[in-house]
Amino acid sequence: MRYFKLLIGGFALLGAQLSFSDTPMGVYYQMQVSDPGAVVAAMTEFQNSETAKDREVTVTLKQIISNGTNPATHAVSVLYQSAAHMDSSRAALAQSKDWAKMQRAMSSVTTRVSESVFRTTGITGGSADNITSKNPVHRYISMNVRDPGKYVEAWEKLQSSRPGDNGASTIIQVMAAGDMGITHVVSISANSMADLMSGGQNDAAWREFLTSVRDIRDVVDDAIVVDLMAWGA
């Protein structure tokens, strides 16, 4: 995935909540799944349908490995090229029999836990090119950030100390998440659980970072997930 480099007044991007219609954005669904095989079958059938062929949407099915008391067992991320692309894609699905069939199949084996709308920010660490596994592992730290500018400044300082990082990370802005109280998510990705666990999340630079942001953000959720299947761009 390519992240847009948005240079908007230094670190003001996250705090300003400006509307960038061309920024990639998406929806993240968390679900409690009773039959994972049926979910894979339903999603695969739809992604191979005529409806999905020309959507140019990136869809990823994820298994949630650890997320505390959250009952969700799986998640689906749907990433669009822009807000306008999201509008046109969702409008096309409203008339699709393929989409309706998948929704019926999914509803019988899943219970929706949450959904949130997000957008990419271009504020990254490492490189997405480092992620070569078909089943990468991610740590998603969901937060309520009260001073986004200060948080990003601390984040950039942390990333500058990791020139040899073999993973990838990014800050995601959450546009809407119901009553969960989430404004941003830090995504830390690696090719395997072993790589994720050895990715410098307990060294001196990480501890300094945590200390510097302690009073400006609250962690709402901390989850580890693995990508099971991905379709699209």
What is 177-205 written as a DSSP string?
Answer: -TTS---EEEEEEESSHHHHHTSSSSSHH
CA 117 to chain centre: 10
Q: What is the CATH number of the domain that holds 57?
A: 3.30.70.100
Longest dimension (CA), the chain: 54
| Positions of the chain with pLDDT lower than 50, given as ranges | 1-18
- Residue pair 29/75 in contact (Cβ under 8 Å)? The answer is yes
Buried/exposed code over 57-70 (b: 16+ C-beta within 10 A; e: otherwise): bbbbbbbbeebeee
CA-CA distance, 160 to 214, in Å (whole number)?
A: 20
- Confidence (pLDDT) at 18: 44
Residue 148: in which H helix or E strand, if any? helix 148-160
Q: Is residue 214 part of a domain?
A: yes
Q: Is residue 6 part of a domain?
A: no
Question: What phi-psi label fits residue 104: left (phi over 0), alpha (psi between -120 and 50 degrees) or beta?
Answer: alpha
Q: Is residue 84 part of a domain?
A: yes
Q: Which of 142, 143, 130, 233 is nearest to 189 (CA)?
A: 130
Q: Is residue 186 part of a domain?
A: yes
Instruction: Provide the residue range defining the domain that includes 223.
Output: 12-231
CB atoms within 10 A of CB 110: 22
Q: Give residue-wise pLDDT tens across range 175-210.
A: 988 888 899 999 999 999 999 988 777 788 999 999
Q: Is residue 121 part of a domain?
A: yes
CA-CA distance, 169 to 203, in Å (whole number)?
A: 16
Q: Is residue 2 part of a domain?
A: no
CB atoms within 10 A of CB 43: 20
- Number of domains into which the chain is organized: 1
Q: Is residue 135 part of a domain?
A: yes
CA-CA distance, 12 to 150, in Å (whole number)?
A: 9
- Residue pair 183/147 in contact (Cβ under 8 Å)? The answer is no
Q: Is residue 141 part of a domain?
A: yes
Partners of residue 14 on adjacent β-strands: none
Q: Which of 202, 220, 228, 198 is nearest to 141 (CA)?
A: 220
